[in-house]
């Protein structure tokens, strides 16, 4: 199953498809971010916002707001605002960075979603099924392999998996 998944990912990457890696367990969050950045993929490693994919228009608006706030911060406009307004915008920027930082450059829905824990990320899997996005998923003994397009049997609690 792993070699089949690798072949699929290699073929999809050579065609220029976009990937989204979803893994929000605290143990693997840093690994997800590091691997996704190295592979130039989008990722979600904090609490995944419900409806992130099925309600893409709202997510896109939040991404635009996030980009605008980052630009204002880089240009130094936040320092010119009153302290109260600047603090509110900085808190909002930190919140958006935590939840949308891995998908800040995502311009559309991903072509393939890689999910690291089917049981914990069940809502992400349901969204992918609804939208018809192919999924690759690490599945443990407590998961249903029929829900996933390409299951990879593995211990999803172990960092090395």
Structural contact between residues 76 and 61, judged by C-beta atoms closer than 8 angstroms: no
**What is the total count of domains within the chain?**
2
In a domain, 158, yes or no: no
In a domain, 58, yes or no: no
pTM of the model as a whole? 0.86
Q: How far apart are CA 125 and CA 146, in angstroms?
A: 12
Residues of the chain short of pLDDT 50, as ranges, are none
In a domain, 78, yes or no: yes
In a domain, 45, yes or no: yes
Can you give the pLDDT at residue 63?
Answer: 92
In a domain, 81, yes or no: yes
Can you give the pLDDT at residue 110?
Answer: 92
- Residue 92 and residue 71 in one domain: yes
Structural contact between residues 20 and 105, judged by C-beta atoms closer than 8 angstroms: no
- Residue 117 and residue 93 in one domain: no
In a domain, 159, yes or no: no
């Amino acid at each position: 199953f792993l070699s089949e998944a690798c072949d699929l990912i290699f073929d999809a990457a050579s065609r220029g498809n976009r990937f989204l890696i979803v893994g929000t367990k605290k143990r693997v969050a840093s690994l997800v971010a590091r691997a996704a950045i190295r592979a130039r993929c989008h990722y979600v490693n904090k609490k995944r916002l419900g409806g992130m994919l099925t309600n893409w228009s709202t997510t896109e608006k939040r991404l635009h707001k996030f980009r605008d706030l980052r630009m204002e911060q880089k240009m130094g406009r936040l320092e010119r605002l009153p302290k109260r307004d600047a603090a509110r915008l900085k808190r909002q920027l930190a919140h958006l960075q935590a939840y949308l930082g891995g998908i800040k450059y995502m311009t559309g829905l991903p072509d393939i979603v890689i999910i690291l824990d089917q049981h914990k990320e069940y809502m992400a899997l349901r969204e992918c099924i609804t939208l018809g996005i192919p999924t690759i998923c690490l599945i443990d003994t407590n998961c249903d392999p029929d829900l996933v397009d390409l299951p990879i049997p593995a211990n999803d609690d172990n960092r090395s998996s």
